[in-house]
């Protein structure tokens, strides 16, 4: 089973291996457009769907379920994706032989050299244009040597990669020189609700055009992929090989791209919302990659403890823990400790709303940004920058250090500064008591405390005095690697 971008081995991508911000609109690609959204008050599941059974007795709606008719009509637009890549393995990798023996053996005349073999894999995809453009998951086609797609009528063709976006696990591939292709219409993933019926069609375990049915279990799921997670959760059965296949509503429109599963559960699958794909696909077609807007801040969620420490009356917004020097936010006057509550015309309800909203802005666009600073609302104007691959935009919130806060502190010596690659002022957290208040707040050994209660600290003694004066709660700003984050800790 090929592991997707999902972390810690809990969720896996659903491609099957042999061993087991932005610009552009949908119409620029010439993709099929969605049918109009239902009028307010209309039933969640419309009584009719986009497919037609006129003139085809095999699709008689009085003889077959809506699911059957939908599956038959959608089949021409769904493809099986067969990939292969060459793997080179050196002899004696692993095994009981000591390294010295293996090295000696390799030097002997006639010793076996590296061995190469082909590893096949399976996935799914669906047509979005009559000229052969196909959507699938990036993890289906990443680092492969060959891509072959098979259609429902038995035709097969070689496909080439047009564009890839690992951050959203989307890829656009194409077959050329084929006629009679039937693209699927794209729906509106914002319009679906938990409880709505959906249909998944794909190539699980090589069983081509397998149809499964379920409901939308939840929306907006964060599954640990990165700052753009906004997955649809479904209980329609998704298995290895389904990756890249469509999740359809009862009108036959694509509302998601099946991408990941929880292998410990029977019916917990995740799909990339089609509305997110609509913002990505035009750029993949035009230039093969995605250019995203960049703000230049590290942000974290506002916990109840942080809301109290910052005297906020809401947990909505994104708390700025770090501002990149010279970046767009810095130039606009955004400061550490600001709470971003609106970016452009969109309110920031959850911290993780912000990266996706920023990413979809055009580079160079001027955007009003509303922040809460020292209890007051201010509006600034930021000029959106371009997100480079190596930049990190979001720091996750984990969540003091006299003995009362469960930490042992050390001054930063020159040797420690060199080892930690840190040349600023601060105090090293050398140990964290597992049963003290710092541990559950998220403080880790190796963190560097740079502020206590919004004031800089330069030595362990200075931090101790600040903690002694902090009362029942201390608000710390810590540096962790390249990121900074605020932590509120209750006194033990």
Burial of 411 per CB tally in 10 Å (0-12, 13-18, 19+): middle
Q: Are the C-beta atoms of 292 and 394 separated by less than 8 Å?
A: no
Within-domain flag for 126: yes
Within-domain flag for 39: no
Domain identity same for 313 and 457: no
Domain identity same for 226 and 274: yes
> Measured in Å, how far apart are the chain's first and last C-alpha atoms?
46
Q: Are the C-beta atoms of 352 and 324 separated by less than 8 Å?
A: no
The confidence score (pLDDT) of residue 318 equals 92
Within-domain flag for 41: no
Which member of 169, 208, 229, 447 is catalytic?
Answer: 169
Q: Token pair 């609700």 is at which residue?
A: 193
- The contacts of residue 39 (CB under 8 Å, 6+ apart) are none
The confidence score (pLDDT) of residue 56 equals 58
Within-domain flag for 42: no
Q: Is 165 one of the catalytic residues?
A: no
Q: What is the CATH number of the domain that holds 5?
A: 2.40.10.120
Within-domain flag for 395: no
Helix, coil or strand: residue 273: strand
Query: Which residue range is the domain that position 359 belongs to?
Result: 293-386
Spatial distance between the Cα atoms of 449 and 458, rounded to a whole number of angstroms: 9
Which two tokens mark 410?
């050390």
Domain identity same for 135 and 200: yes
The confidence score (pLDDT) of residue 492 equals 65
Which member of 4, 217, 243, 359 is catalytic?
Answer: 243
Within-domain flag for 45: no
The confidence score (pLDDT) of residue 53 equals 42
Domain identity same for 238 and 309: no
Which residue, 191, 365, 195, 349, is CA-closest to 275?
Answer: 191
Domain identity same for 285 and 313: no
- The contacts of residue 174 (CB under 8 Å, 6+ apart) are 131, 132, 133, 134, 159, 160, 162
Domain identity same for 261 and 131: yes
Within-domain flag for 257: yes
The confidence score (pLDDT) of residue 90 equals 56
Which residue, 463, 475, 473, is CA-closest to 409?
Answer: 463
Q: Which of 356, 386, 416 is where one domain is finished?
A: 386
Q: Are the C-beta atoms of 210 and 223 separated by less than 8 Å?
A: no
Domain identity same for 248 and 144: yes
Domain identity same for 24 and 153: yes
Domain identity same for 282 and 308: no
Q: Is 243 one of the catalytic residues?
A: yes
Domain identity same for 196 and 274: yes
- The contacts of residue 436 (CB under 8 Å, 6+ apart) are 405, 406, 407, 492
Which member of 4, 82, 121, 139 is catalytic?
Answer: 139
| Count of domains observed in the chain | 3
The per-residue b/e assignment along 23-50, b for 16 or more CB within 10 angstroms, e otherwise, is bbebeebebbebbeeeeeeeeeeeeebb
Ramachandran quadrant class, 311 (left: phi over 0; alpha: psi -120 to 50; beta: rest): left
For residue 229, the tally of other CB atoms under 10 A from its CB is 20
The confidence score (pLDDT) of residue 129 equals 95
Q: Is 52 one of the catalytic residues?
A: no
Ramachandran quadrant class, 206 (left: phi over 0; alpha: psi -120 to 50; beta: rest): left
Per-residue pLDDT of the chain (492 residues; tens, 9 = 90+): 333 332 333 455 667 664 343 333 332 233 343 444 444 443 333 333 334 444 455 567 777 888 999 999 999 999 999 998 877 665 544 444 455 554 544 555 555 656 777 788 899 999 999 999 999 999 999 989 999 999 999 999 999 999 999 989 999 999 999 999 999 999 999 999 999 999 999 999 888 889 999 999 999 888 876 778 889 999 999 988 999 999 999 999 999 999 988 877 778 999 999 999 999 999 999 999 888 899 988 888 898 888 888 889 888 999 998 888 888 999 999 999 999 999 999 999 888 889 889 988 888 999 999 999 998 999 999 999 988 754 433 332 222 345 678 788 888 877 777 778 888 888 888 878 777 788 888 888 889 999 988 889 888 778 887 887 777 788 899 988 888 889 888 876
Domain identity same for 308 and 333: yes
CA torsion sign for 302, 306, 311, 313 is positive
Domain identity same for 71 and 152: yes
Q: Which of 275, 290, 305 is where one domain is finished?
A: 290
Q: What is the CATH number of the domain that holds 374?
A: 2.30.42.10
- The contacts of residue 316 (CB under 8 Å, 6+ apart) are 302, 341, 347, 348, 349, 350
Q: Which of 290, 325, 344 is where one domain is finished?
A: 290
- The contacts of residue 433 (CB under 8 Å, 6+ apart) are 406, 407, 439
Within-domain flag for 392: no
């Amino acid at each position: 089973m090929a592991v997707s971008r999902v972390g810690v081995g809990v969720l896996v991508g659903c491609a099957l291996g042999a061993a087991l911000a932005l610009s552009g609109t949908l119409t620029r690609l010439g993709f099929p457009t969605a049918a109009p959204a239902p009028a307010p008050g209309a039933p969640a599941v419309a009584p009719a769907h986009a497919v037609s059974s006129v003139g085809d007795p095999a699709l008689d709606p009085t003889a077959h379920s809506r699911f059957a008719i939908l599956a038959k009509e959608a089949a021409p637009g769904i493809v099986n994706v067969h990939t292969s890549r060459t793997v080179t393995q050196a002899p004696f990798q692993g095994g009981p032989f000591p390294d010295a023996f293996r090295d000696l053996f390799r030097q002997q005349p006639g010793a076996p050299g590296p061995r190469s073999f082909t590893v096949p894999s399976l996935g799914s995809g669906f047509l979005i244009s009559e000229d052969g453009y196909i959507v699938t998951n990036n993890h289906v086609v990443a680092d492969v040597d060959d891509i072959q797609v098979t259609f429902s009528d038995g035709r097969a063709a070689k496909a080439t990669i047009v564009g890839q976006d690992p951050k959203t696990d989307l890829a656009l591939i194409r077959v050329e020189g084929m006629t009679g292709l039937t693209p699927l219409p794209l729906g509106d993933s914002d319009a679906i609700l938990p409880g709505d019926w959906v249909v998944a069609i794909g190539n699980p375990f090589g069983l081509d055009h397998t149809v499964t049915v379920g409901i939308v279990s939840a929306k907006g799921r964060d599954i640990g992929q990165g700052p753009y997670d906004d997955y649809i959760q479904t209980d329609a059965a998704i298995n290895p090989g389904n990756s890249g296949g469509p999740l359809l509503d009862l009108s036959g429109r694509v509302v998601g791209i099946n991408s990941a599963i929880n292998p410990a559960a029977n019916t917990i699958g995740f799909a990339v919302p089609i509305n997110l794909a609509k913002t990505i696909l035009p750029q993949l077609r035009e230039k093969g990659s995605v250019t995203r807007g960049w703000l230049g801040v590290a942000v974290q969620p506002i916990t109840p403890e942080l809301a109290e420490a910052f005297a906020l009356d809401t947990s909505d917004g994104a708390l700025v823990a770090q501002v990149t020097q010279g970046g767009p936010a810095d130039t606009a006057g955004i400061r550490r400790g600001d709470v971003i509550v609106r970016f452009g015309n969109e309110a920031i309800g959850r911290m993780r709303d912000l990266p996706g909203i920023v990413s979809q802005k055009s580079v160079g666009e001027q955007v009003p940004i509303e922040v809460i600073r020292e209890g007051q609302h201010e509006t600034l104007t930021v000029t959106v920058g371009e997100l480079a691959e190596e930049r990190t935009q979001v720091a996750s919130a984990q969540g003091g250090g006299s003995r009362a806060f469960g930490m042992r502190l050390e001054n930063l010596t020159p040797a420690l500064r060199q080892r930690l690659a840190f040349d600023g002022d601060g105090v090293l957290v050398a140990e964290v008591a597992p049963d003290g208040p710092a541990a559950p707040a998220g403080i880790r050994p190796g963190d560097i405390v740079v502020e206590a209660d919004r004031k800089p600290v330069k030595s362990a003694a200075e931090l101790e005095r600040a903690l002694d004066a902090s009362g029942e709660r201390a608000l710390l700003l810590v540096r962790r690697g390249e990121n900074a984050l605020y932590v509120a800790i209750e006194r033990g």
